[in-house]
Amino acid sequence: MTAAVLCVGTELVRGEIVNTNATWLCEQLTALRHEVVETLAVADDEKEIIAALTRLGQRYDLVISTGGLGPTTDDITSACVAKLLSVPLVRDEAGVAALKQRFVQAGRTFYESNIKQLDFPQGAHPLPNEVGTAPGFSVTIGKALAFFVPGVPAEMKPMFECSIRPQLASLVQGGEHQVRLKTFGMAEAAVGELLTGVEEQFAVTLGYRAHFPEIEVKVLARDASQSSAEERANGAARVVRERLGQIVFAEGDVTLAQSVGRLLSARGLTLGLAESCTGGLISHLVCERPASDYFLGSVVCYANQIKEQVLGVNPDLLRDKGAVSAEVAEQMALGARRVLGADVGLAVTGIAGPSGGSSEKPVGLVHYAVATPAGVMLSQTQFPRSRDQVRLHAAYSALMLVRRALG
Amino acid sequence: MTAAVLCVGTELVRGEIVNTNATWLCEQLTALRHEVVETLAVADDEKEIIAALTRLGQRYDLVISTGGLGPTTDDITSACVAKLLSVPLVRDEAGVAALKQRFVQAGRTFYESNIKQLDFPQGAHPLPNEVGTAPGFSVTIGKALAFFVPGVPAEMKPMFECSIRPQLASLVQGGEHQVRLKTFGMAEAAVGELLTGVEEQFAVTLGYRAHFPEIEVKVLARDASQSSAEERANGAARVVRERLGQIVFAEGDVTLAQSVGRLLSARGLTLGLAESCTGGLISHLVCERPASDYFLGSVVCYANQIKEQVLGVNPDLLRDKGAVSAEVAEQMALGARRVLGADVGLAVTGIAGPSGGSSEKPVGLVHYAVATPAGVMLSQTQFPRSRDQVRLHAAYSALMLVRRALG
């Protein structure tokens, strides 16, 4: 079953709001194994709405349209559908009575403009709206089964769940399974080269998504049954993991910080941080998900006086080697262990830019140290990009070092 | 000039990422007074990409396409354009040499798959990519001037700014000026009500953009000349500022943390943080822009033992009042001042959720304290949303408290 999502609203094509409805609907339809071929947004404009629906009805089995069902003059989707199908709009008088009743019960003023929302193209099947005032409806346009739902997400989503999902779930044959592997530390081109031949070997589709600084590898299998699709996707994912090795840090929606947290929790270890150039970013990434099992805290030592006075870094070392050095990183990591009472101390110091670099220590140079009960492990990177990118890359590199230190 | 935005990427039609590129491009084009009639997203599929480009080239004067320019096998936009135009792909050998040179200078490994990104449809005009490895290009398709840019926002946006905006700006007559005011602390509907009548009084257009937790108010004026447009937009912006008062924290691209930093720097004051539930987020927001003028550091005291041992919070107080209390917030702020040697200490403690709430102290309750040479100022918020939203709202509320404390 091929599908398209149409979102109606001038605010979308003017860039005034992000189209999260399209994303949500695509995600639901994909999970229900309908293949969304395109999503489209058009203004509240009769000519454009009719042109879009006509074209989508010729091409796809399923169309879901959001928006333009409300009470104001710019809400014209129902009228456009009626015109396109050459049928009149017919008022659902029972619906009007029920809506008035709801307003009375809620003690709200009923405005006559609400009545327009109960006008449906003749032959349409209404979809109830339990949350708001605009019902949806379904009709056939061309070869497509077309559903019309409100643009307000809080109304659209329950309507999809109650009235659309059950119909769609019953329409699709066969199985599909996708495995998503998250990587850090290798360019997209290099990851792609390492996976040459996997698509052919397993008859899967590989997709790549660069979400800086991660590269996600998606392994998608379709087959006659769900179980055979899963088997094939999982088989291919095993080979992908083998070929990519340590750069794979997690599967699905697990974050890098979470993957580190799981390794620490499994060993009963706590984590403390000493952050200079990352300025709290690692701590923030750790705390995005609940972390009190293993995370104690962080000393963000942006100024050198904090490195000395709070973390106990030797002032002579700061003067002789500079704040951005392996030696200071090591003392910061040991200081984080001691001051925060943590089993594992992780430290980062570097030059985020845009200024502060020199020929000897250029913007993008970052030193890392992780101190564990077993000793200290050091690393460094040289990644000359924008300030945001240097900092995010450094935060990821630091967390990857903890993974390495824990084996 | 009518325009369309095409976004290429299987991840978009599968609902795996929100299409913020389309929103951003629509916003830019609208501000440049091009009328975006539709936006479209299609999978990495030759047939669909060619069909979409053919159709858009017949209908519109301008097409901007994002995505599908990278090094992996699923990046096929350039090949589709060549096929559609019946021209070969031609390698930009000088571009390949320059790219290799960039890799050598950065000490990075050059992969052969990167070369594919320098293959352009014959006759295309390359658009340089200063950030990543995939250049864009422009060609004529049907009646449309078509631009092809990468899907990675950090590469797409600079390319638009450097290579596309100047071309598009020259196509439209008259003057236009927009003032963007950033606010925090009031709902969008309430902000809108406070500004009733401003549009009519100054003949400007007001736009609202909710970018959680900020509401941005855009004041747009168009006129025969640039100077008269600027005068009118600035006049209206002054009235908007007066009506909105303290919730306006910055103009343009200035961040809330930057606005706080400017107030501190102007007074020669330094800042130290004590963060519990925000877990380093405030520190991260502060360090997004260079901050060494005023920012010393932060103690992220996620565990209570850090509040006691590093910040010196009284253990009896932690036991009797709980970590989430005005009293503990106050001691944390005083501790941040003392331990970090800062003029201003800012502290946050709260319940970010999803668990850890009680009827007395529900998820979303956050206490704030700011300690200055003049004394301590306290506040609290109760904002029961998702963990991410509670934390971001708390970080903003905390920084707003510093603004208030500084007058």
- Of A153 and A239, the structure prediction assigns the larger pLDDT to A239
* pLDDT, position A25: 97
DSSP secondary structure code for residue B270 in this structure: -
User: Sorting pLDDT into bands at 50, 70 and 90, what band is B169?
Assistant: confident
Residues of B in contact with A275 (CB under 8 A): 280, 283
* pLDDT, position B276: 97
Asked if the model's pLDDT at residue B31 lies above 90, the reply is no
The β-bridge partners of B389 are none
B320 in contact with chain A, both atoms CB, cutoff 8 A: no
* pLDDT, position B176: 82
Angle of CA points A99, A105, A107, to nearest 5°: 105
Asked if the model's pLDDT at residue B243 lies above 80, the reply is yes
* pLDDT, position B96: 93
* pLDDT, position A267: 96
* Phi and psi based region of residue B396 (left: phi greater than 0; alpha: psi -120 to 50; beta: remaining): alpha
Whole-number Å distance between alpha carbons of A117 and A204: 46
Instruction: Tell me if A281 and B286 make a contact (CB, 8 A cut-off).
Output: no
* pLDDT, position B369: 98
A315: cis peptide before it, omega within 30°?
A: no
User: Sorting pLDDT into bands at 50, 70 and 90, what band is A169?
Assistant: confident
Lowest mean pLDDT among A33-37, A205-209, A245-249, A303-307: A205-209
Q: What is the pLDDT of residues A240-278, one digit of tens each?
A: 999 999 999 999 989 999 999 999 999 999 999 999 999
The pair phi, psi for residue A111, each rounded to 5°, is -95, 140
Task: Provide the mean pLDDT of chain B.
Answer: 94
* pLDDT, position B348: 98
Percent of chain A whose pLDDT exceeds 90: 80
* pLDDT, position A190: 92
Q: What is the mean pLDDT of residues B85-93?
A: 96
Handedness of CA B20, B22, B28, B33 (dihedral sign): negative
Whole-number Å distance between alpha carbons of B47 and B41: 13
Instruction: Tell me if B279 and A287 make a contact (CB, 8 A cut-off).
Output: yes
Q: What is the mean pLDDT of residues B366-381?
A: 97
DSSP secondary structure code for residue A16 in this structure: S
User: Sorting pLDDT into bands at 50, 70 and 90, what band is B234?
Assistant: very high
Asked if the model's pLDDT at residue A200 lies above 90, the reply is yes
Instruction: Tell me if B341 and A309 make a contact (CB, 8 A cut-off).
Output: yes
Burial class (CB in 10 A: 0-12, 13-18, 19+), B317: middle
Coil, strand or helix: which one is A61?
A: coil
Asked if the model's pLDDT at residue B349 lies above 90, the reply is yes
* pLDDT, position B393: 97
Closest residue to B37, CB basis, from A16, A42, A279 = A42
Asked if the model's pLDDT at residue B82 lies above 90, the reply is yes
* pLDDT, position B222: 87
- Ranges assigned E (strand) in A238-319: 248-251, 271-275, 295-301
User: Sorting pLDDT into bands at 50, 70 and 90, what band is B130?
Assistant: confident
pTM of the shown model: 0.80
CB A279 within 8 A of CB A302: yes
Asked if the model's pLDDT at residue B73 lies above 90, the reply is no
CB B326 within 8 A of CB B369: yes
Instruction: Tell me if A283 and B287 make a contact (CB, 8 A cut-off).
Output: no
Residues of B in contact with A282 (CB under 8 A): 280
Pairing of strands A248-251, A175-183: antiparallel
DSSP secondary structure code for residue A341 in this structure: T
Q: What is the pLDDT of residues A328-375, one digit of tens each?
A: 999 999 999 999 999 999 999 999 999 989 999 999 999 999 999 999
B302 in contact with chain A, both atoms CB, cutoff 8 A: yes
CB B363 within 8 A of CB B277: no
Asked if the model's pLDDT at residue A73 lies above 90, the reply is no
The pair phi, psi for residue A21, each rounded to 5°, is -60, -45
Instruction: Tell me if A279 and B301 make a contact (CB, 8 A cut-off).
Output: no
Q: Using N-to-C axis directions, what is the helix angle for A77-85 and A46-59, rounded to 10°?
A: 60
Q: What is the pLDDT of residues B263-289, one digit of tens each?
A: 999 999 999 999 999 999 999 999 999
* pLDDT, position B78: 97
Q: What is the pLDDT of residues B297-340, one digit of tens each?
A: 999 999 999 999 999 999 999 999 999 999 999 999 999 999 99
Whole-number Å distance between alpha carbons of B86 and A88: 46
**CB neighbours of residue A343 within 10 Å:** 18
User: Sorting pLDDT into bands at 50, 70 and 90, what band is A320?
Assistant: very high
Q: What is the mean pLDDT of residues A384-398?
A: 95
Q: What is the pLDDT of residues B173-223, one digit of tens each?
A: 788 888 999 999 988 778 888 999 999 999 998 877 777 899 889 898 989
Sheet containing A144-149, strands listed edge to edge, beginning at the edge strand earlier in sequence = A125-127, A136-141, A144-149, A62-66, A2-8, A35-42, B35-42, B2-8, B62-66, B144-149, B136-141, B125-127
Coil, strand or helix: which one is B283?
A: helix
Asked if the model's pLDDT at residue B293 lies above 80, the reply is yes
A354: cis peptide before it, omega within 30°?
A: yes
A145 in contact with chain B, both atoms CB, cutoff 8 A: no
| Nearest CA among A12, A9, A140, A24 for reference residue A76 | A9
**Tokens coding B272:** 């130290």
Whole-number Å distance between alpha carbons of B226 and B237: 16
Percent of chain B whose pLDDT exceeds 70: 100
The β-bridge partners of B390 are none
Residues of A in contact with B257 (CB under 8 A): none
The pair phi, psi for residue B97, each rounded to 5°, is -60, -40
Task: Provide the mean pLDDT of chain A.
Answer: 94
